[in-house]
């Protein structure tokens, strides 16, 4: 179990799924977060290899936290700059604009000198002596972001976002400023994605333009849509299960329970399964598997004695 | 910038732009009828390119499940192109049945349909990769015996355009003429335009809308398959994902031209082709970003596209 936890960054992926969920709370399908994730990773990679040259021993965790903060601020500023004009668009147009945004960032990262071009940046210093200790960063990050979104859902702002999702025109008529709230959700999501990228860069140890691409967008959409897009629990569970499941199955595949062809398929065909899950999910579970109604039923059952 | 260089770049731009145009028409036809963006179009492009490759009797590489497999016969390239495009059209039919019809029956949100088609696209591309591997392929050269380039200039100031470019421009133009004829001069075309105008009314008037939606997917899939092969012929089949990348570029074309606007898709394709051709040599690495930058800017400045009319928000 320990080695399994250490090899997979599924906790970080769950946080990333939340970054897709935030704009979706307001009904905005934005797939920009892989772009901010990539940006955050580059910021951490550049800071830790060029600005604070690694000395002997472990890289200080405090500097990782500083990188996360810088990544969040820079991503937030870029998010604001992109979000203010882009969030006048809605529906398909916003999705297209954010796809274009991720593509442009990818080409720029591939060609700048500071990002290491096609090779990227490698040898990013490690703040921990073993991968499992990344839990000290990943678990608090996940818990804090979950608490944040959970609280948000119950505040005035969160309810305003949901009102916008249900009916933007009616919400606007009730005095909710659509642009302000959408940009707020988008920028918060960008900041969070940037911070996750900063941790991921250290965890993966190398960062290049293959991180945070359109593929990541598709994966995140699978997490949110299969997990559930109406409560923050959905994306987190979707992200945890869909990334951990293939790994767990791969473990099973190793002990000869599964036939070889199926084991090979589970190893190489992950995106086939994700794609099919997205398609099936949208047809049969348009709100995902975990819905607020389901959570309420579970809550009642838990509360009843016996 | 001298005249020869200008002419050279214009011709290059038109050749690639014409392919963008017929690819984008595949998106546009479906959008005009169903008001959704069919993200599987890029995957169908991939399927067309691979099907043509298989039909030429060529062997697949060593990485996929079907490593080393090859069909027992070889078709001449023209027939393989036709066959590959028909396979792509069939893939379009399957996609319509599996991904779009169930959602249409439920009257689902267009955004959900977009996501569903993305899911199918990712599945199709990865199935292709699983079966045939990720290595690049190139077609057995069908233009053997022809000179490798055609001179559009004078002997003193040559303007050389690769023969492949001339061929793909020619094929694209043929497709465009056929499609224009179909849409404007046949009963089916009239019915298609009626369905695009208003699906409910045209079904009340006795038009079999489900059949026409299916036909739209057939035409769109065929166009996607042709483009996949043409691009494969020009630059090689760079693995299954090249369809996804091309598909995303195609989005820039349709947004530029105005979603669902057929002349707009052609104009948009040519503009993006020319814009790419005129990227200065020292910034050539950024060429891939040009369509997306245009897409982004057009969305912000003129979301209805260059030729489109602004949509009035009805309450």
**Mutate which of B115, B130, B280, B288 to test chain A, going by most A C-beta atoms within 10 A?**
B115
- Model pLDDT for residues A281-294, shown as the tens digit of each residue: 888 888 888 888 88
Q: State which residues form the domain around A46.
A: 2-303
How many CB atoms are located within 10 Å of the residue B84 CB? 28
Shortest CA distance to A236 belongs to which of A222, A223, A218, A217?
A223
* Residue A100, token pair as written in the block: 């274009």
CA B124 to chain CA centroid, Å, is 16
DSSP three-state, residue B64: coil
Phi-psi region of A128 (alpha: psi -120 to 50; beta: other; left: phi over 0): beta
CA A60 to chain CA centroid, Å, is 25
Is the confidence at residue A37, as pLDDT, over 90? Answer: yes
Total number of domains in chain A: 1
pLDDT band at A116 (very low <50, low <70, confident <90, very high): confident
Q: Which CA distances in Å does A158 have to A23, A149, A163, B121?
A: 11, 9, 9, 33
Shortest CA distance to A225 belongs to which of A299, A180, A280?
A280
pLDDT band at A252 (very low <50, low <70, confident <90, very high): low
In degrees rounded to 5, what are phi and psi of residue A134?
-60, -15
Which of B112, B118, B119 is nearest residue A286 as measured by Cβ atoms? B112
Is the confidence at residue B296, as pLDDT, over 80? Answer: yes
Q: How many CA atoms lie within 13 A of B230 on its CB side?
A: 29
Calculated CA dihedral for residues B60, B62, B65, B66, nearest 10 degrees: 30
Q: How far is A58 from chain B (nearest CA, A)?
A: 37
**Which are the contacts of B139, defined by CB distance < 8 A and separation ≥ 6?**
B52, B53, B56, B58, B77, B229, B232, B233, B237
pLDDT recorded at residue A33: 94
Which of B108, B255, B286 is nearest residue A96 as measured by Cβ atoms? B255
- What's the pTM? 0.89
Which of B119, B285, B286 is nearest residue A279 as measured by Cβ atoms? B119
| Chain A residues contacting B via beta carbons under 8 Å | 29, 85-86, 88-89, 91-93, 95-97, 99-101, 103-104, 107-108, 110-111, 169, 214, 218, 221-222, 225, 265, 268-269, 271-272, 274-279, 281-283, 286
Q: What is the mean pLDDT of residues B104-121?
A: 83
Q: What is the mean pLDDT of residues B294-305?
A: 85
Is the confidence at residue A2, as pLDDT, over 50? Answer: no
Inter-chain touch B121–A286, beta carbons under 8 Å = no
Radius of gyration of chain B (CA): 20
Q: How far is B3 from chain A (nearest CA, A)?
A: 31
Contacts A89 to B, Cβ<8 Å: 299-300, 303
pLDDT band at A304 (very low <50, low <70, confident <90, very high): low
DSSP-derived letter for residue A150 is: H
pLDDT recorded at residue B311: 61
pLDDT recorded at residue A256: 59
Q: What is the complex's ipTM, to 2 decimals?
A: 0.86
Q: Give long-range contacts, CB 8 A cutoff, 24+ apart: B152-161.
A: B152/B7, B152/B11, B153/B4, B153/B7, B157/B4, B158/B4, B159/B4, B159/B7, B159/B8, B159/B11, B160/B8, B161/B8, B161/B11, B161/B12, B161/B15
Is the confidence at residue A306, as pLDDT, over 50? Answer: no
Domain with residue A285: its CATH number is: 1.10.3470
Interface of B with A in 106-165 (CB under 8 A): 106, 108-127, 130
Shortest CA distance to A212 belongs to which of A65, A22, A31?
A31
Q: Which residue has the higher pLDDT, A63 or A267?
A: A63
Catalogue all structural domains in chain B, each as residue range(s) with its CATH number: 3-301 (1.10.3470)
CA B226 to chain CA centroid, Å, is 8
- Model pLDDT for residues B9-60, shown as the tens digit of each residue: 899 899 999 999 999 999 999 998 888 889 999 999 999 999 999 998 888 8
Cα separation, B216 vs A153, in Å, equals: 43
Q: What is the mean pLDDT of residues B177-185?
A: 91
Question: Cβ distance A201 to A42 under 8 Å?
Answer: yes
Q: Supply the mean pLDDT for chain A.
A: 86
Question: Cβ distance A280 to A218 under 8 Å?
Answer: no
Contacts A100 to B, Cβ<8 Å: 251-252, 292-293, 295-296, 299
Inter-chain touch B123–A271, beta carbons under 8 Å = yes
Contacts A262 to B, Cβ<8 Å: none
**Which are the contacts of B91, defined by CB distance < 8 A and separation ≥ 6?**
B43, B44, B47, B124, B221, B225
Contacts A91 to B, Cβ<8 Å: 110-111
Chain A residue with minimal CA distance to B101? Answer: A283
- Model pLDDT for residues B213-261, shown as the tens digit of each residue: 999 999 999 999 999 999 999 888 888 888 988 999 999 999 888 888 8
* Residue A170, token pair as written in the block: 């009616």
Is the confidence at residue A6, as pLDDT, over 50? Answer: no
Question: Cβ distance A17 to A223 under 8 Å?
Answer: yes
- Model pLDDT for residues A211-247, shown as the tens digit of each residue: 888 888 888 888 888 888 889 999 999 888 888 776 6
Q: What is the percentage of chain B residues whose pLDDT exceeds 70? A: 97
Q: Which CA distances in Å does B285 have to A117, B251, B282?
A: 11, 21, 8
């Amino acid at each position: 179990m320990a080695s399994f936890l250490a090899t997979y960054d599924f906790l970080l992926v769950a946080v990333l799924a939340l970054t897709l969920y935030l704009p979706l709370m307001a009904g905005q399908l934005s797939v920009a977060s892989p772009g901010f994730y990539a940006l955050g990773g580059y910021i951490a990679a550049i800071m830790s290899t060029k600005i604070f040259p690694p000395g002997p021993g472990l890289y200080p965790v405090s500097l990782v936290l500083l990188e996360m903060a810088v990544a969040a601020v820079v991503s937030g500023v870029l998010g604001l700059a992109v979000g203010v004009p882009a969030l006048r668009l809605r529906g398909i147009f916003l999705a297209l604009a954010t796809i274009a945004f991720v593509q442009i960032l990818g080409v720029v990262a591939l060609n700048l000198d500071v990002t290491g071009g096609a090779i990227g940046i490698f040898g990013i210093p490690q703040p921990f002596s073993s991968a499992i200790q990344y839990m000290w960063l990943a678990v608090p990050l996940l818990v804090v972001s979950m608490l944040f979104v959970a609280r948000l859902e119950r505040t005035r702002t969160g309810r305003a976002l949901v009102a916008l999702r249900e009916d933007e025109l009616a919400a606007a008529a009730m005095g909710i400023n659509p642009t302000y709230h959408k940009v707020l959700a988008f920028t918060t999501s960008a900041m969070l994605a940037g911070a996750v990228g900063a941790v991921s860069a250290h965890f993966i140890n190398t960062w290049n333009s293959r991180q945070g691409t359109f593929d990541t967008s598709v994966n995140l959409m699978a997490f949110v849509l299969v997990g559930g897009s109406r409560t923050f629990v959905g994306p987190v569970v979707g992200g945890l299960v869909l990334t951990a499941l293939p790994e767990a199955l791969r473990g099973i595949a190793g002990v000869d329970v599964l036939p070889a062809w199926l084991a090979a398929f589970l190893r190489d065909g992950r995106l086939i399964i994700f794609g099919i899950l997205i398609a099936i999910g949208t047809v049969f579970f348009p709100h995902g598997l975990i819905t607020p109604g389901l959570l309420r039923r579970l809550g009642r059952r838990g509360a009843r004695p016996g | 910038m001298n005249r020869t260089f200008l002419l050279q770049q214009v011709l290059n731009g038109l050749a690639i732009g014409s392919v963008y145009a017929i690819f984008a028409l595949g998106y546009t036809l479906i959008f005009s009828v169903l008001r959704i963006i069919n993200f599987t179009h890029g995957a169908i492009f991939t399927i067309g390119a691979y099907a043509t490759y298989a039909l030429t009797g060529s062997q697949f590489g060593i990485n996929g499940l079907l490593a080393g497999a090859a069909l027992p016969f070889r078709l001449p390239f023209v027939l393989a192109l036709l066959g590959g495009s028909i396979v792509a059209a069939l893939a379009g039919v399957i996609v319509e049945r599996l991904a779009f019809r169930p959602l249409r029956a439920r009257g689902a949100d267009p955004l959900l349909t977009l996501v569903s088609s993305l899911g199918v696209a990712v599945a199709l591309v990865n199935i292709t990769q699983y079966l045939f591997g990720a290595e690049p392929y190139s077609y057995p050269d069908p233009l053997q015996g022809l000179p490798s380039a055609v001179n559009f200039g004078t002997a003193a100031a040559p303007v050389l355009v690769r023969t492949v470019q001339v061929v793909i421009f020619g094929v694209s133009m043929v497709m465009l003429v056929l499609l224009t004829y179909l849409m404007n001069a046949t009963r089916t075309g009239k019915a298609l335009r009626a369905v695009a105008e208003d699906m409910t009314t045209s079904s009340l008037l006795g038009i079999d809308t489900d059949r026409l939606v299916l036909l739209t997917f057939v035409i769109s899939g065929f166009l996607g398959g042709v483009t996949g092969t043409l691009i494969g012929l020009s630059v090689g089949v760079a693995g299954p994902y090249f369809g996804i990348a091309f598909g995303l570029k195609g989005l820039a074309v349709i947004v530029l031209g105005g979603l669902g606007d057929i002349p707009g898709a052609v104009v948009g394709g040519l503009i993006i082709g020319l814009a790419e051709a005129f990227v200065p040599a020292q910034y050539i690495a950024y060429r891939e970003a040009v369509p997306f930058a245009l897409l982004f800017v057009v969305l912000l400045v003129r979301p209805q596209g260059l030729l489109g009319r602004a949509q009035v928000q009805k309450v």
